[in-house]
Amino acid sequence: MAEVRVHVPAPLRSHVAGEPTILVEATSLHMALGAVQAAYPALADRLLTDDGRVRPYVNLFLNGRDVRLLEADKLTIDQPADLTIVPSIAGGAPDLTREERLRYHRQLILPELGLEGQQRLRAASVLVVGAGGLGSPAALYLAAAGVGRIGIVDGDIVELSNLHRQILHDTTSVGTRKTTSAKARLEELNPDVEVMEIPRRLDASNALEILDGWDVVVDGTDNFPTRYVINDACVLLGIPLAYGAIFRFDGQASVFAASGGPCYRCLFRDPPPAALAPSCAEAGVLGALPGIVGSIQATETIKLITGMGTPLIGRLLLVDALGGEFRSLEIRRDPACVVCGDTPTLTDLVDFEAFCAESLDVDEPGAPFPIPAGFQLPVPFPAVDALELKEMIDRGKRLVLVDVRDPAEHAMSDLANLGAISLPMEELEERLEEIDPLVETILFCRTGRRSMEAVEFLHSRGYARVLNLSGGINGWARDVDPNLPTY
């Protein structure tokens, strides 16, 4: 006798006390079905006719193979096996055409997906916001998988510098609308897919209207304002959100706004001020990284549509491309969340700029970078340039300047007139206590490169309010104080 694990699809689990898998012992498929019938007569009723034959609208897969193709009657089982039940969906979705069966064959033969999953994909609609680094692989895989309707939201034009990561577009599409280029490419890939172009910039004024009615939304944006608007709109509309974010060599993915799960705001309550949140354009990104993260977003979307597997609801997947590591962290819905909490206060979309201004002016400890314990922020190493720093100083913002250069360099030029203290890189670790974690601290070196490393180090030690002066002291001399010597 061998153990047979019978995988029960969600619609039939009420007959087996909610279990996704039941175990029976058998030496043949016939015997396994008999054992199911004896132990779970109500389930067997749905699978088998009175004379014990498999009902025509039920598919059974033994170890991933369709038993109808395996001459079920003669099928013996001599080692542990997996039997997967795949009923056709209610409502009589039209069968697949011959061409569809060929096109999707390699995924149709996955028992977890099967005919029913394919029909669900065809009936589904997915809105991809942003036809950039993340949206490109996500949209390509979704179209290839046979998602019936795909919407592409993007107000930008294809630029040459997009092409190292935005694989929807190619050299000939430089200068054209991203939505137009995306639609052409997706239709070329799969003419059965209906692609809808929405060549607009998503914001608080139009997000509810644009997102309404889609089954799943894929967040392929690269900036905070849109991210918060998408999250809030998805929560308000009850649409699950396949989230992805990238920064330099790090990526994140999750599923937000799904029933019972957390949303993006549960994790990051408020956006950081715009000046402190570099985008890809400023910070750089390895081209293949959005390929990984966008593909994960497509995978999660397909899982949400077909109901297979365990979606990333309540988990944040972290991708470390340089270290070659994936980690996943448990995240929870915050009962105090302003949009998805028990008593939400945010019931309409909020303009991000308002949040920005507030965060910049309110100098309370802990804001503006909420860092959940145990992981780094998607835009972990914020920076200001010389003009932004001058503006902060002119506004009277409380901050400390730290010169991380060698003493010899410090002797050549310094910002002592602004109260800057000298704390060379190599002494940083032993003089950590000189940095007040509650006060905005701006590190600088000659050009901003070494101080960025110092910022990275301090963030890893939990100093969330440390920023980099991009351009360094030379940038300050160039843009603000021409009397300062440069070297």
- Looking at the Cβ atoms of 67 and 339, the one nearer to Zn ion is 339
310-339: contacts with Zn ion (CB under 5 A):
337
Q: How far is the CB of 233 from Zn ion (least distance, A)?
A: 13
- Looking at the Cβ atoms of 268 and 381, the one nearer to Zn ion is 268
Q: How far is the CB of 269 from Zn ion (least distance, A)?
A: 9
Pairing of strands 440-444, 466-469: parallel
227 binds Zn ion (CB under 5 A): no
User: The dihedral of CA 21, 24, 25, 31: what is its sign?
Assistant: negative
90-109: contacts with Zn ion (CB under 5 A):
none
Q: How far is the CB of 265 from Zn ion (least distance, A)?
A: 4
Report how far residue 140's alpha carbon sits from residue 253's, in angstroms, rounded to the nearest whole number: 18
- Looking at the Cβ atoms of 115 and 340, the one nearer to Zn ion is 340
- Looking at the Cβ atoms of 265 and 446, the one nearer to Zn ion is 265
- Looking at the Cβ atoms of 267 and 423, the one nearer to Zn ion is 267
Q: How far is the CB of 360 from Zn ion (least distance, A)?
A: 23
Q: How far is the CB of 138 from Zn ion (least distance, A)?
A: 23
- Looking at the Cβ atoms of 340 and 377, the one nearer to Zn ion is 340
340 binds Zn ion (CB under 5 A): yes
> Which residue, judged by CB position, is nearest to Zn ion in the bound state?
337
Binding residue count for Zn ion, defined by CB under 5 A: 5
Sheet holding 383-384, edge to edge: 383-384, 466-469, 440-444, 399-403, 421-422
Q: How far is the CB of 465 from Zn ion (least distance, A)?
A: 24
- Looking at the Cβ atoms of 264 and 444, the one nearer to Zn ion is 264
Q: How far is the CB of 266 from Zn ion (least distance, A)?
A: 4
Give the per-residue contact string, 6-25, with Zn ion (x = CB under 5 A; - = no): --------------------
Q: How far is CA 312 from CA 29, 151, 301, in A?
A: 34, 23, 10
250-289: contacts with Zn ion (CB under 5 A):
263, 265-266
Q: How far is the CB of 350 from Zn ion (least distance, A)?
A: 14
Residues that bind Zn ion (CB under 5 A): 263, 265-266, 337, 340
